[in-house]
Amino acid sequence: GWLLIASSPLSPAAMLPIFVYGTLKPGEINHTVCAHYVQAVAPAIAYGSLYHLPFGYPAMSLDASHWVVGCLLHFSDPQLLTILDQFEQHDPSVFQRLFPTTDLATHQYQRTRIQTYTPQQHPLTLAWSYTMTTAQIQQLNGTKTAHNHWRGADYALPPSH
């Protein structure tokens, strides 16, 4: 008999949608990083807690039973995961300036599979999301967001004169 080998080296899990809750959402500053790859966007929520980090973007932890507001990005090119795995790391120079005594490597986002839900709280699908532990977020002086919803406009710096 023939041994059938899939042509794609990626598992079906690699093609899960991505749950985004911060700067990658449509309309936010970094959506252009992934916009070319996105085929569909759907509003979604997930269990967790959302914090604003001093770098100017948020982090989500998975250890709380609140609803984090975000959206699912559906894509077909697995290269997007490679791009986002690189993008979802702190800028080393900014990190060292803000946290000179903290280890960068142990305070990075982890890509994690999570359960997502419709805004009406019905189960939707498994998705990838970039998360941190509460301990990591606390060490980075994260502050809880209002209503577990993050908008860049809420954290914009005032214009300089």
Whether residue 46 is predicted with pLDDT greater than 50 in this model: the reply is yes
- The angle formed by the CA atoms of residues 138, 141 and 144, to the nearest 5 degrees, is 80
State the average pLDDT for the chain: 88
- The tokens 């997502």 sit on which residue? 116
Question: Cα Rg for the chain, rounded, in angstroms?
Answer: 17
Predicted local distance difference test score (pLDDT) of residue 16: 84
- The angle formed by the CA atoms of residues 134, 136 and 140, to the nearest 5 degrees, is 110
Query: One-letter amino acid identity for 48?
Result: G
What single DSSP character describes residue 9?
Answer: S
Q: What's the rounded Cα separation, in Å, for the pair 21 and 155?
A: 14
pLDDT, tens digit (0-9, with 9 covering 90-100), for 66-125:
999 999 999 988 889 999 999 999 999 999 999 999 999 999 999 999 999 999 999 999
Q: What percent of the chain has pLDDT over 70?
A: 88
